[in-house]
Every structure is written in C-alpha cells, then in structure tokens.
Amino acid sequence: MKKIRTVYFILIALCLVALATTFITGYLTDEKNANSGDLTIGKIEVSEVDVYYMNGATKVQYGLVTIGTGGTQQTKKGVYDVNIYDEISPDYVKNLCVDFYVKANVNAYLRVTIQDQVVRKIPNYQGVITETSIRHEPLEFNFDSESWHKQVHGNDARNIYYYYKTKLVDTTYAPIKVSFIIPKDTFGILVDGHQININENYFLHLGFTYELVQADFGGPEYNWGLQTRPWGGNW
C-alpha cells in the first residue's frame, strides 16, 4: 500500500464528493503513523454487479436494453431489460436476483439505489419501436431486511436508499459477495395505488447506483451527510 504526506491528504479531503457512479474506488484507511504524520491509502471498489434470474435451480443471465435496429442498434450499458408479462418465462421479474461483489482492504459501507421504469414498446408498420414511459409507483423488490435497511430520504417516495448494515472488509482484497435482490412470490405494478394490467408490450428497465465509502474517518458523514446510521446507532 502506498503512503502520502498529510498535505496531500488535505487536498484529497477537499475534493471528496458524494459517490454516485457505477465505478467506485475508496479513499483513506484507518491506519496512521503518529510519528511521521503519514497516512496509508487503502482501496475499496464494487468489482462486479451480477444480475440474473433463478429458474428453479438454473441460473439465467440478464439481457440489456437495446435501442435502434440493424446497424444503428446500441446497447444501454447498465440498464437491464426485465420481463414483467410472461410469468412462465425464466427471465420473469419474480425470479430476479442481484448480487454485488465488493473489494475492500479497509472497513467500508455500501448503499444502493434502484432506478425502475416501466415502458410500453409499440412497433410501427416498418418495425420501428416507439417506447413510452409509464408513470408508476416505486416497485417493491424482495431483499433480506436482516442484512439491508431501506430508507426514504426527504419524504420523496422515489428517493430510496438501501444500506448494507455490515461493514465490509477483506485485507487480502478478495471479492466479498453481497446478496441484494432475491426472488419473490408476487409482483405488482401500481399507478395511483391501483394495479395496472400488463401485456406483452410492457417491459421494465432497471438500473442501479451504488456507493461505497470507508466506514472510518467520517466516510459516511462526509460523503453521505449522515451523522448516524439510518438503522440506528453510531457509525
């Protein structure tokens, strides 16, 4: 691990902002040499997001959202196309699973937000597809509430964060598997509190924003603006 002088630590601290990207690296460790005033730099990152479906004992890989046709077709990286109509299909939303793989050689906390958007796809006579976003309430996914805490911030029903309650660390920097979304028995889409009818033209576009911060030296306080843990107690 690399050492830097305190003056560089001050510059780094001034540049820290709340992380909201899909590529996460960490900052300071909890190691300090009191004699030299040096700080040791550690590393934290989300190395992989594994999105898949469990069809019984069979693992089925995800599909990404694509736009355009033929030579102009493009894939939306990090936006997953989820089936919400055909319940017997292996990639039906009830079978959805999401795991994060975290590397951290210092204590770290993970939080996640879900971006969900139901769309209706209608092809015209030339086969060109028009997508229309459907206004709906935030979808309720299944997760282990013993391991995760769901928190609504600012009284905004769509400003929801999921906090993994356990500090993550492996000094060998080996990937740590963190299970997030797990299959559920029922699934519904609500508009103004009412269930809407879904047909084969409806799909779910799904994305995730994840933030990983050092657990010590004010990581959650400075990056997330939270002085205490949302599920209670001090960091």
Segment 53-75, tens digit of pLDDT:
998 888 998 887 776 666 666 67
C-alpha pair distances (Å), 118 with each of 91, 129, 161, 193, 203:
16, 15, 20, 15, 6
For residue 20, tell me if it sits in a domain.
no
For residue 68, tell me if it sits in a domain.
yes
Q: Which residue has the higher pLDDT, 204 or 36?
A: 204
Mean pLDDT, residues 104-122 taken together = 94
Dist CA 156 CA 85 (whole Å): 28
For residue 10, tell me if it sits in a domain.
no
For residue 200, tell me if it sits in a domain.
yes
Is residue 127 very low, low, confident or very high in pLDDT (cuts 50, 70, 90)?
confident
Q: Residue 190 above 90 pLDDT? A: no
For residue 192, tell me if it sits in a domain.
yes
Task: State the pLDDT at residue 71.
Answer: 60
* Domain total of the chain: 1
Instruction: Give the N- to C-terminal CA distance of the chain in Å, as an integer.
Output: 25
Q: Residue 163 above 90 pLDDT? A: yes
Is residue 128 very low, low, confident or very high in pLDDT (cuts 50, 70, 90)?
confident
Q: What is the rounded (10 degree) CA torsion for 82, 157, 154, 111?
A: -30
For residue 119, tell me if it sits in a domain.
yes
| CB distance 41 to 32 below 8 Å | no
Percent of the chain with pLDDT over 70: 79
For residue 232, tell me if it sits in a domain.
no
C-alpha pair distances (Å), 76 with each of 156, 206, 211:
27, 11, 21
Determine the structural domain holding residue 141 and report its residue range: 44-217
Instruction: Report pTM.
Output: 0.78
For residue 97, tell me if it sits in a domain.
yes
Amino acid at position 44, single letter: I
